[in-house]
Structure 1
Amino acid sequence: MSAFDWLNTEAFTAFGQHIMYSDMVGNSVGLIALALGWRRSIWTWPAQFLSGVILVAAYASAQLSGGVGKQLLVIAVAVWGWRQWTSRGTQRAQDGSVAVRFATWKERGFLLAGTAVGTLAVGALFTALPDLSWNPWPDAYIFVGTLAAMVAQARGLVEFWFAWLLVDIVGVPLAFSSGLAFSGLVYVVYLALVLWGLRDWWLRSRQTAPQQRTALEGAPA
């Protein structure tokens, strides 16, 4: 039996739902990645990469092509996020971790506009090609929302957590209705971690702001 075949076998049944290994393992690694992101650890990106690779098998077994596409995008953005956080130009906190901050209004506008336009474009694509997704608009919303969240995370923006909250609102019911019960349960746990992470990044952004002002004041005219 290949690794792909094993991932798509049933691990156990809970509340009438068949839990696949790919769904269970991939989302468990995703939880670890989110916890590492809350701690601002560079290892959040390899964990997100691995989670994406495993969840490709889960969504493929559920015949959710949109979900497969989303995970392929997660894999690509995880590589980009790793490069962003290891870049010498990335601002650091006093403990050496990545500094976090609130987005500027311009950055928020780009994120909101990009998410809206992206959701409309992807939703229209899924609607025109029904084989890609049986539930095109929620799937498109999660697809683009996940991308927006990861981009905000890579830039150290507190809005990353707000984006995940909005994804969770749709992700929980969609996962359960798609037969991916473990994904649905994990989204619920995500919600708790997101609220915790939001509070932590929010407080740390207050520490970053004085550092940014000091750096600007000390810069040569």
Structure 2
Amino acid sequence: MNLLDWLLTGVVPIGAGAISVREVVGNGFGLASAIGGMRRRVWAWPVGIVGNLLLLTVFLGGVFTTPQGTTLLGQAGRQVLFVAVSVYGWVRWRESRRSGGGADGAVVPRWATWRERAGLLVVAVGLTALLTPIFEALGSWPPVWADAWTFTGSLLATYGMARGWVDFWLVWIAVDVVGVPLLLQGGFYPSAVMYGFYGVFCLVGFAVWWRTQRRLALQTSPRPTSALPAATDPSMETLG
């Protein structure tokens, strides 16, 4: 079996069952992308795209051969959205790096404004509510609202990363909290374990970006002008 056949058809036995090699390798690329994102490196985007394409075939278990044979439309659909948004983030970070960017990364982290956060909340609630009956009609794995949220939240988190918002880490954590139980129910154990790891990793990433944002803000903030000593008025000097 050559490398390509092993990647496309290989399985890893686990107890009485098995998992796809593509699921393990795809999540490995996802982890590498997350590390690059935490370090604000441009290469995080193309690496993540490779992982997305592999996982797309995993979650379309009704189309591609997988040990689970289960289709998660939200999980599959978000891989497609990941690719599209990742291309946007890739271009944006490359432009930021060429224009100076951060001293130690491609983008300067910042907090989203309250208006931007309100927009995120509206899209999160609205798109999840819209997609839930659609995914249910298409036969997605229950609970369908959880599948719809992981799709929506993943889209918003990736967009927030492309924009350089520190807040995007918190959105990822909310996705992981819902995504881990969903993946366990569907039998996608490597992805469930990776989601759990991502949850912890996102806490670290959030702290790193928050600390970086504060440091860069202090470096770029104007320094207060020190008080100058008052000039001596000759007329006030004491005559000897």
* Aligned residues: CA RMSD: 2.2
CA radius of gyration, larger in: 2
Residue type of the partner of 1:36? G
Mapped partners of 2:43, 2:50: distance in 1: 11
Contact 1:29–1:50 (Cα < 8 Å) also in 2: yes
Q: What does the per-residue CA deviation read over 1:136-192, in whole Å, with 9 as the maximum and x for residues that have no partner?
A: 211000000000000000000011100010001011111111110000111111122
Residue type of the partner of 2:194? V
Residue type of the partner of 2:24? M
Q: What does residue range 200-215 of structure 1 map to in structure 2 within 5 Å?
A: 200-210=208-218, 213=221
Matched, 1:119 2:133: no
Overall identity of the aligned pairs, in %: 33
Mapped partners of 1:64, 1:90: distance in 2: 40
Aligned pairs, how many?
A: 212
Q: Give the corresponding residue for 2:58.
A: 58
Mapped partners of 2:131, 2:26: distance in 1: 24
Deviation, structure 1 residue 97: 3.2
Aligned to 1:194, which of 183, 198, 202?
202
Matched, 1:178 2:186: yes
- Give the stretch that moved more between structures: 103-112 or 87-96: 87-96
Match of 2:155, SS state, is helix
Deviation, structure 1 residue 5: 8.1
Residue 90 and residue 141 in structure 1: after superposition, are their counterparts in 2 closer, same or farther (change >3 A)? Answer: farther
Poorly superposed stretches of 4+, deviation over 4 Å: 1-6, 88-91, 211-214
Q: Return 5+ residue gaps in structure 1 as ranges.
A: 215-221
Residue type of the partner of 2:149? Y
Q: What does the per-residue CA deviation read over 1:43-81, in whole Å, with 9 as the maximum and x for residues that have no partner?
A: 110111111100011101232233221111111111111
Q: Give the corresponding residue for 1:94.
A: 103
Residue 17 and residue 102 in structure 1: after superposition, are their counterparts in 2 closer, same or farther (change >3 A)? Answer: farther
Q: Return 5+ residue gaps in structure 2 as ranges.
A: 62-69, 223-240
Residue type of the partner of 1:177? Q
Match of 2:19, SS state, is strand
Q: What TM-score results when the alignment is normalised by the length of structure 2?
A: 0.81
